[in-house]
């Protein structure tokens, strides 16, 4: 009898359906005007971050080298793109969407705030209080906002300044052609 790979059983029994249901619930809550806030304190990875974290209308993250946003591991990315790890590292310097660090992710416009001077791996009482204050402010900011469809990720100063420049240009050209 062959050994079953990790996650095979989870996929078989429907983890994808559970993630889809969660994403739907967050989106419905957000679109109904309820504040949905995500906090990234470690590695935000793949489908879990897509289903849970990216559905928030405000995403906060701790500014720490251990905090990352990953679609997949670097090794998997290298295999799929048929690049070496060195080539991926080089690409990450100029293409923020291929990088893993939280500061590169910030340039894409989805991050509401990067919380500085907090110990991500061993937060102290002051760190926790600071994070709770930032969460409260994000909730208040979300309630004030009229935009619950995540459009703010394309209009943020980071997105406009360059992180989403190509995406914005494509949207502009498509709009011109279709309208």
Q: Confidence band (pLDDT; 50, 70, 90) for 2?
A: low
For the entire predicted model, the pTM comes to 0.83
- Convert 4-30 to b/e letters by CB count within 10 Å (16 or more is b): eeeeeeeeeeeeeeebeeebeebbebb
Are the C-beta atoms of residues 74 and 99 closer than 8 Å to each other? no
Instruction: State the chain's mean pLDDT as an integer.
Output: 87
Please, what is the end-to-end C-alpha distance for the chain in angstroms? 59
Q: Give me 107's structure tokens.
A: 């340039």
Question: Helix or strand or coil: residue 69?
Answer: strand
Q: Confidence band (pLDDT; 50, 70, 90) for 1?
A: very low
Q: Which run of H or of E encompasses 112?
A: strand 111-115
Q: Which tens digit of pLDDT belongs to each residue from 67-82? A: 999 878 888 888 888 9
Cβ neighbours of residue 69 under 8 Å, at least 6 residues apart? 40, 43, 44, 49, 100, 102, 105
Question: Which DSSP category does 62 fall into?
Answer: E
Q: How distant, in Å, are the alpha carbons of 26, 53, 60 from that of 40?
A: 16, 8, 6
Asked whether residue 16 carries a pLDDT value surpassing 90, the answer given is no
């Amino acid at each position: 009898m062959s050994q079953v790979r990790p996650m095979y059983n989870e996929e078989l029994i429907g983890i994808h359906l559970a993630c889809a249901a969660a994403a739907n619930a967050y989106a419905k809550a957000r679109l109904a005007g309820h504040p949905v806030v995500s906090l990234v304190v470690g590695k935000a990875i793949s489908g879990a971050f897509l289903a849970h974290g990216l559905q928030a209308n405000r995403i906060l993250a701790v500014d720490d080298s251990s905090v990352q946003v990953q679609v997949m591991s670097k090794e998997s990315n290298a295999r799929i793109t048929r690049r070496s790890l060195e080539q991926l590292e080089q690409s990450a310097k100029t293409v923020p969407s291929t990088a893993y660090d939280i500061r590169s992710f910030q340039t894409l416009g989805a991050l509401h705030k990067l919380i500085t001077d907090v110990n991500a791996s061993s937060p102290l009482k002051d760190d926790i209080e600071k994070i709770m204050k930032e969460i409260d402010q994000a909730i208040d900011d979300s309630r004030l906002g009229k935009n619950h469809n995540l459009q703010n990720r394309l209009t943020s100063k980071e997105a406009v300044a360059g992180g989403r420049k190509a995406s914005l240009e494509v949207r502009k050209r498509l709009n011109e052609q279709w309208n």
